Structure 1
Amino acid sequence: MTTNILFCGYSYHTNGYHSQHKSGYPSYLFRLQTEGVCEVVVKGKKMEIEKGDLLLIKPGDHYELLVNADQKSGDYHLVCEGTWVDEWWNRSEKPDVSRIDLEDKLLVLWRHIMIEKRRPATSQNEELTSYLLRALCITLERAINETVPSINVPYTVTRMMRYIEEHATTAFKVDDVARHAGLSISRSVHLFKSSVGKTMIEYALEIRLSAAIERMKYTSLTLEQIAEDCGFGSYPYFHRVFHKKYGVAPGVYRRQEY
């Protein structure tokens, strides 16, 4: 299946801007607001777009963009087409506008595509840009889905889970997680435990243990180094946590399994 990136870039408007496609946008458009505000009209509906808003337009959609002269507006945008994009779009409902987290890994992926598209045509790797586009689409889809609270897991809890997953192998603190979610420590602790069924530290320990087992399986690192790399701080603590979980010492587990 094909993918084709027609344009990928970043814009920052300070003196006003207006564009319109009343007869329908010709391709798929992804637009992520990163700074300031603007207004859009999608399928006849006027909306104010703020930082963190992701706009998704499909071919044929009526689309207008307006940045007033007294406003500032910055956004990443990408225009694409192809049979793979068609299939991705049609497999689930895509809201016109979603509020998502402006995570570095998402913006880095977007910038990677921008850099690749700046290369001379003879130097561009179509296979690489195709996979980067697919990765961006799937990452955006996940970001959209995670902003929709499920019955058991509110969006704020999902944000806390993602933060812990990213920082589990470092010495993060509970108040770091609470601050990331915009909650008090007591509220974040209670909400996380009631939604996930375990404490933040217990959740982090599961991730650390999984990372440790991967290193035990695929590397020749010492158990002391693995304990440090995976966020346990010391081997005795790693030994205690591991033995409690698996019933054997890390060294015994490594010899038995691998």
Structure 2
Amino acid sequence: MLFCDISINISYNGTMKKRTGTYITDNVLTKESEQIHYQHEEVPYYVTFQSRYSGHHVVQGIPHWHQDVELTYVVKGTSELEVAGRQYTIHAGDGYFVNARQIHTGRSSERDFICVRIHPILLCANEYIEQTFVLPVINDPAMAFVHLSHNIPWQKEILDMILHIYEQDRADADTLPLTIQSSIFAIWKLLYEHRSTDEIKKVPESHHMTSLKRMIGYIQENYQNRITLKQIAESGNVSASTCNNIFNTLIHQSPVRFLLSCRLNNSTKMLKETDMTVTEIAGQCGFSSASYFTEMFHREYGMTPVDFRKAEQEEV
């Protein structure tokens, strides 16, 4: 594999900047993955603490993927998730690592958790570092998902560093980017040291998985508009029947159901982050009417959009 420079888009506070780096992406376009809104213009990382409870919060995620690796520490409760078609249950005190480009989703559960996402470009100081230490982990099929247990010393070290990153992020010191990057390198060192010792050969992504990522990307970019099954299938270069089969096999839901979940998920963000009316949000999220939006929202979350917004405001 040849060393090369790439440009990635970093979205921060509504602006787009170009950053040159060394991380080599695959043939699936970056725009088809979830776009992470990084917290610093020049350092592509994202740190968040989330509290999700069925009485007030949306707890059913939608399948998604991104170029970033994801580190999560479950503070309280239980996290149920699915990564590349396999299901896992993570209890409080433990956590997990999800590698780049892995389709994953969180399932309904009540928990508090810290999530750290970083773009691998942050680790690629030069060609040697990239080829020797970064790509062997990124390309290792056995590292698609790692359950981090507090009972295993090296994994507990990672969990402690996730917590440290969160605490430092809250402190927001001038040297925060350096603190974040040093912690991430320490975490990566542990992941590298404990990966499989067998020779790693990059496994080509299946045609169906590539098509699924493209179709998910198409839906995420166009959910505001009227979308047909034919259009979704065409975005993945497959037939409508194959499209249905791919979605049901790989993420256990139909493309129509995924589209609805995508619309509802984005509507919750608008309800929390904007003052738009329910009618305006319905239109922005691709629903034909406010009444249909309210019906689908209540069916999914057990409350109306108005009640959801009130619950969020009360918690704040």
Report the TM range for the smaller structure's normalisation.
0.3 to 0.5
Instruction: Say which one has the larger Rg.
Output: 1
**TM-score in terms of structure 1 length:** 0.45
**TM-score in terms of structure 2 length:** 0.37
